[in-house]
Structures are given as structure tokens and as C-alpha cells.
Amino acid sequence: MSFPGRSILICTLLFLFGSSIAFAQSRDFAFLGVFTEMIDKTKADSGLRIIYVYPGSAGDDMGLKEGDQIIALNDFLIPNRDRFVKELRKENIGATIRFLLNRDGKKIKVKGKIKSYKKTMGMIQDRLRAKYVGKPLGALPATLWWNSKTSGFEPSKDPLGPFKSKIGLLVAYDDCPGCQKNRVEFLSQLFTRTKAAGDTLPLAFAGIYQSDSQLTKGGSKECLTQAVKLYTARKPPFPAGIAHFPGGAPAPKEREKNLFLHNHGVVITDPDGKIAYLQVTGYPDELAIQKTIGELFVKHFQPPRIPAEKPRKAGSGG
């Protein structure tokens, strides 16, 4: 297969990333940066225990620790997660909030300013990029892949095999309206345009469904049920799969290596399988994706320029 020169490459990228691929702006909100679980999972209102604190988050700055039991937030008792989220959502970015905690059997008070979700996740994204970009994309968690002919899922021995020796683009999503419009539709349009351009660019695609909320609500079965509904309705033209975690949701500390799945992000890999671009917050960044694909093509697929021969002087031998 022959690949385009630089000028044709620019035209191809402009065609692929046309004006009809539009992106909404993800909203910002106050974000504490902790994971919690019920103290007694057999009781609905047993209170919450902190099981993970994002490094550098507002919760980390306040001194919240794993194992802390949340008694009250801003003088409101916290019996369950719904009440906790409701009280947090009342706060503006930068507001001071107060906690009453049970730590190792002792009641303690802590307070601090709550941060922006976008800024916190941006900081986390910068840290993960420094850690993972330039390194091989690790193995995906257990996945199944959509067969449009049977309208069902089936396993694949090598789900990212098509990424080998190509530029790979992986996008994660669930069935929420924002994901359907800004992730599934984006990937569908880009895949369709790539095919319409005659595969001018060596791009390989994969979309993966993943929902932490559905996993918590009804486990792997709930995720599979909702993914079937989405794929049946949307009929994705790209290779579409699901990471449904049949063994149960991963612990918060184990999520980092696959945060792009949990946060519905984007990964671009080079032909050697190394991560060239990683996004774990916000909707797909069209300009960054376009730039990365162009740079990878020039680096790995464009033939080196052969310098033109200098004109010989008149009368020289030959």
C-alpha cells in the first residue's frame, strides 16, 4: 500500500476531521477526589468509608485518608452516598467545606477548599502522560467484541491485533447522551471517512464500552445488557467491544493503568504499539488527535526526502 505525501496528508486530515465532527464542552464542577464505600454493605444507611484518595486532589490537600469514616459534611450527617453527593454538589469550586470524621476510633475535624474537576483531572492526566506515553499499551481487561451479524458479543484472542504496524485509535464510552454524541458518533464518522478516503492513512480503530455506574448497580450483566441496546441502536461501523469486568469492579488503586476506559478517554498508539497520546478527561480533543496522527504518519510512514542533486558546473568531467 502506498501512502500520501505531505500535501496529500494535510488534505486527507482535513477531510477526516471535517466541520461536521463537532464537540461539546464538558462541564466543570466542584470535585473532592475520593472513592467511598458503605461501611456495612448489608445496610443502606450505614455511613461511608473512604477507600481511595486521588493524589493532589482537594481531599488529599485536606488530609483525608483511606479508612476514614465520614460522619458529617458541613454539619449534615452523611448516611449514604446519595446524601454525600447531594451535599457536595451544592458547593461551588473554591468553597471551604468541613468534615467530621471517625479515624481509628477518634472523631476529628478537617476542612479545606474544594477544587475544580477539570483542573484536578488535568493534573492527573499530566501525571499519567508522563508515566505512560512512550511505553507499550498494556493488555486490556477482559473484553468481548460486537458481532453485528449475530447481534451479540464474542471473545477475541487478539482484540488489538489490527493496531499492529498501524496508527491505532481507541475511544472509550458508555451509553450516556454525551458519550453517544461526542465519542461514539465521533469515532463512527472518522472511521467512515477513513474508508471513504480509500484507507489513505494507515489507521486502525477500536471503541470500548465501559460503565462504572452500571457495574456497581448490576455487575457485568447490567453492562452487557445496556451495551447490546446501544450497539443494536447505533450500529457502529468500527470494531466495537465492551470491558465488562466479569470478576467484579477493579479496586480504585487498580484503575490507574486503564483510567482511559473508566473516564471514557482516548488512546493513540504508534505502529510499535507504544502510547503516543493519552486523554483521560473531557471529550475527544479533535486538534490534539489530528496533530498526533499527522506526526505519527510523518515519522513512521512518510518516505525520507531525497535531496536534489546540485547542478554540475559547465565543463566538468563526466
**38 falls within a domain:** yes
The pLDDT of residue 13 is 56
* Same domain membership, residue 206 and residue 86: no
pLDDT at 2 over 80: no
The pLDDT of residue 9 is 55
**314 falls within a domain:** no
Is residue 162 within 8 A of residue 307, CB to CB? The reply is no
Where is pLDDT greater, at 170 or 307? 170
* 202 — pLDDT class (breaks 50, 70, 90): very high
Where is pLDDT greater, at 276 or 250? 276
The pLDDT of residue 16 is 60
* 3 — pLDDT class (breaks 50, 70, 90): low
Q: Which CATH number fits the domain that encloses residue 157? A: 3.40.30.10
Final residue of a structural domain among 116, 144, 164: 116
The pLDDT of residue 20 is 47
Ramachandran area for residue 49 (φ above 0: left; ψ -120 to 50: alpha; else beta)? beta
The x, y and z cell numbers of residue 203, run together, are 489507521
Of 299, 306, 309, the residue nearest 3 (C-alpha): 299
The pLDDT of residue 252 is 83
Of 195, 269, 191, 206, the residue nearest 240 (C-alpha): 206
* Same domain membership, residue 290 and residue 163: yes
**315 falls within a domain:** no
Phi and psi for 288 in degrees, rounded to 5? -65, -40
The pLDDT of residue 313 is 63
**215 falls within a domain:** yes
The x, y and z cell numbers of residue 231, run together, are 450497539
The x, y and z cell numbers of residue 205, run together, are 480503530
d(CA 77, CA 108): 14
pLDDT at 295 over 60: yes
Arithmetic mean of pLDDT, 175-185: 94
**50 falls within a domain:** yes
* Same domain membership, residue 140 and residue 107: no
In degrees, rounded to 5, the angle at the alpha carbon of residue 169 between the alpha carbons of residues 168 and 171 is: 145
**159 falls within a domain:** yes
* Same domain membership, residue 235 and residue 102: no
The pLDDT of residue 216 is 83
Arithmetic mean of pLDDT, 36-58: 92
The pLDDT of residue 248 is 86
d(CA 194, CA 211): 28
Instruction: List Cβ neighbours of 110 (8 Å cut-off, separation of 6 or more).
Output: 62, 63, 64, 98, 99, 101
Of 250, 246, 240, the residue nearest 208 (C-alpha): 240
Domain span at residue 267? 6-23+135-300
The pLDDT of residue 46 is 92
* Same domain membership, residue 287 and residue 183: yes
Q: Report the mean per-residue pLDDT for the chain.
A: 89
229-246 pLDDT, tens digit per residue, is 999 999 999 999 999 898
* Same domain membership, residue 174 and residue 50: no
99-132 pLDDT, tens digit per residue, is 999 999 999 999 999 999 999 999 999 999 999 9
Final residue of a structural domain among 116, 149, 173: 116
* Same domain membership, residue 143 and residue 39: no
- What total of structural domains would you count in the chain? 2
**305 falls within a domain:** no
* 255 — pLDDT class (breaks 50, 70, 90): confident
* Same domain membership, residue 85 and residue 195: no
* Same domain membership, residue 69 and residue 193: no
Q: Which CATH number fits the domain that encloses residue 51? A: 2.30.42.10
* Same domain membership, residue 93 and residue 19: no
The secondary structure element, H or E, covering residue 61 is helix 58-62
* Same domain membership, residue 15 and residue 38: no
* Same domain membership, residue 252 and residue 178: yes
